[in-house]
């Protein structure tokens, strides 16, 4: 069946729906205008996709930023910054330029990927798109940033993880080509959240345990501190406020949300169910430790490259386990961390027995413990023994 090519927007439809309920007339109007413009662009995306490959030109990942001046016709936008030009007096222009560059450099230095398509694709960004446009999106060729309504959203170019998220849609499109609906679509969204977060962590040189693991905290409800569009660490807890209610993302398969495969149904819940693989990545990253892009990031990137259009959660989980073994060795701590991470979201790796063991639980009774908890406990005990042996050896050497 022929499918409409998606416009990959950072703001999901269920949040825009909430904006339509706002008591503020201007907020309601901005949300409605955003939804109508996005629907129109979705149709244009389908037409452009048929000849995008013919007009794409390699450019060593060179950046070019255009100012739409609140218009919606990209060819009429004004060129405002290039690789060879100075900084702009416009904050949104410079933020978009820097964000595109950091994302490009992240993929180049960490994964040796030559821009979004791995063939030096130029990176074009358009700022000040439309009036009070509450979104940012990748349309298959370029990045477009709205300024937000000034109440619930601020300038969308002001978030590095948003830019990393959107450009990663281009990476996914040029690797696995994950279909944008149901589980493959949720994986598509998850890949963008994962690598969007990693771009920010890489730029800040943060280790996994130091990162906030949030998406869009800088541009979402600027008047409310601490919230975000999504949280990889705690799906379902990114926000909880009177305007939007509680974050509806599930964090495990037992909470999987079934929605219609329509635009209003979030294409089968792609922005919602992405919380499940998001949580798995977070668990793998902190389980491995250190810089997340060096361990879990490489595993997920190789798994993405090995995936296909209809890959589902189970397929992807199995592939990450295999890639962890390929990269770090069968039975390695990294592979064990991946196994534990997927078990943590109720996905069992195919072909790996779910071992059971007995352990003393918190109330002093003997209870059953699943293989992941047992493995974590046993690894902890082994590490403690190694540390004790090292200490004894140091003492022996000192006393010689």
**DSSP character for 29?**
H
CA–CA distance, 222 with 226 (Å, rounded to integer): 9
CA–CA distance, 77 with 19 (Å, rounded to integer): 28
Phi and psi at residue 113, to the nearest 5°:
-100, 130
Model pLDDT, residue 184: 98
Token output for 172:
């996914």
CA–CA distance, 153 with 134 (Å, rounded to integer): 6
For residue 382, pLDDT over 70 is answered with no
The predicted model scores a pTM of: 0.85
Contact (Cβ atoms closer than 8 angstroms) between residue 339 and residue 374: no
Would you place residue 52 in the very low, low, confident or very high pLDDT band (cuts 50, 70, 90)?
A: very low
Q: Active-site positions? A: 166, 271
In 202-269, the DSSP E strands lie at 214-215, 230-231, 240-241, 245-246
- Helical packing angle, 333-343 and 371-399, nearest 10°: 150
Phi and psi at residue 121, to the nearest 5°:
-55, 135
CA–CA distance, 263 with 169 (Å, rounded to integer): 17
Judged by DSSP in three states, 58 sits in strand
Residue 278 region by backbone torsions, left for phi larger than 0, else alpha for psi between -120 and 50, else beta = alpha
CA–CA distance, 91 with 72 (Å, rounded to integer): 20
Would you place residue 319 in the very low, low, confident or very high pLDDT band (cuts 50, 70, 90)?
A: very high
Model pLDDT, residue 399: 58
**Which tens digit of pLDDT belongs to each residue from 24-39?**
999 999 999 998 888 8
């Amino acid at each position: 069946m022929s499918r409409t090519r998606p416009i990959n927007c950072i703001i999901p439809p269920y949040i825009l729906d909430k904006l339509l309920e706002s008591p503020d007339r201007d907020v309601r109007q901005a949300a409605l205008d955003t939804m109508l413009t996005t629907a129109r662009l979705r149709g244009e995306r389908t037409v452009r996709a048929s000849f995008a490959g013919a007009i794409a030109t390699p450019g060593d990942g060179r950046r070019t930023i255009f100012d739409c001046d609140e218009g919606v016709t990209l060819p009429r936008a004004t060129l405002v910054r290039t690789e060879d030009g100075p900084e702009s007096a416009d904050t949104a222009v410079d933020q978009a330029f820097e964000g595109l560059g950091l994302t490009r450099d992240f993929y180049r230095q960490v994964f040796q990927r030559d821009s979004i398509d791995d063939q030096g694709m130029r990176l074009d960004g358009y700022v000040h798109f439309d009036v009070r446009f509450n979104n940012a999106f990748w349309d298959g060729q370029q990045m477009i940033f709205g300024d937000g309504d000034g109440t619930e959203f601020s300038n969308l170019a002001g978030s590095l993880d948003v830019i990393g998220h959107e450009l990663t849609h281009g990476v996914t499109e040029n690797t696995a080509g994950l279909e944008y609906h149901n589980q493959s679509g949720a994986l598509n969204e998850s890949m963008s959240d994962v690598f969007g977060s990693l771009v920010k962590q890489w730029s800040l040189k943060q280790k996994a345990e130091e990162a906030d693991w949030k998406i869009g905290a800088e541009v979402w409800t600027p008047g409310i501190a601490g919230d975000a569009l999504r949280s990889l660490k705690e799906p379902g807890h990114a926000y909880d406020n009177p305007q939007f209610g509680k974050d509806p993302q599930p964090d495990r398969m037992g909470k999987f949300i079934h929605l219609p495969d329509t635009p209003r149904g979030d294409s089968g819940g792609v922005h919602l169910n992405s919380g499940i693989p998001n949580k798995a990545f977070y668990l793998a990253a902190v389980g491995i430790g250190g810089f997340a892009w060096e361990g879990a990031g490489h595993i997920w990137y190789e798994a993405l490259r090995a995936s296909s259009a209809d890959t589902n959660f189970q397929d992807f989980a199995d592939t990450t386990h295999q890639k962890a073994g390929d990269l770090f060795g069968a039975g390695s701590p990294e592979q064990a961390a991946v196994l534990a991470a997927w078990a943590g979201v109720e996905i069992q790796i195919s072909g790996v027995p779910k071992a059971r063991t007995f352990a003393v639980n918190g109330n002093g009774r003997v209870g059953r413990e699943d293989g992941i908890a047992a493995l974590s406990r046993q690894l902890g005990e082994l590490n403690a023994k190694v540390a004790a042996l090292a200490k004894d050896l140091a003492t022996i050497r000192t006393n010689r």
